[in-house]
Amino acid sequence: MAGVPMADCDVGVPQCEAASFRWSLRCRDGAVVVSLAGELDLAVMELEPLLLQVAESGPAATIVLDMSELDFIDAYGIGTIVNAWKVAKARGRVLRVEGLRGLPARVFRLAELEPVLVRPPRGDELKGNSGDQRRAAGGGGGIALGGAHEPR
Q: Is the Cβ–Cβ distance between 78 and 113 less than 8 Å?
A: yes
Q: Return the pLDDT at 133.
A: 33
CA distance 104 to 110: 10
Name the pLDDT band for 113 (thresholds 50, 70, 90). confident
pTM: 0.69
To the nearest 10°, the Cα dihedral for 47, 48, 50, 56?
160
Taking residues 7-21, report their average pLDDT. Answer: 51
Task: Delineate the domains of the chain, giving CATH numbers in brackets.
Answer: 16-145 (3.30.750.24)
Query: What are the pLDDT digits (tens) for 63-111?
Result: 999 999 999 999 999 999 999 999 999 999 988 888 989 999 999 888 8
Q: Are 62 and 30 in contact (CB under 8 A)?
A: yes
* CB 97, CB 140: distance < 8 Å: no
Which pLDDT does position 73 carry in this prediction?
95
What pLDDT is recorded for position 112?
Answer: 79
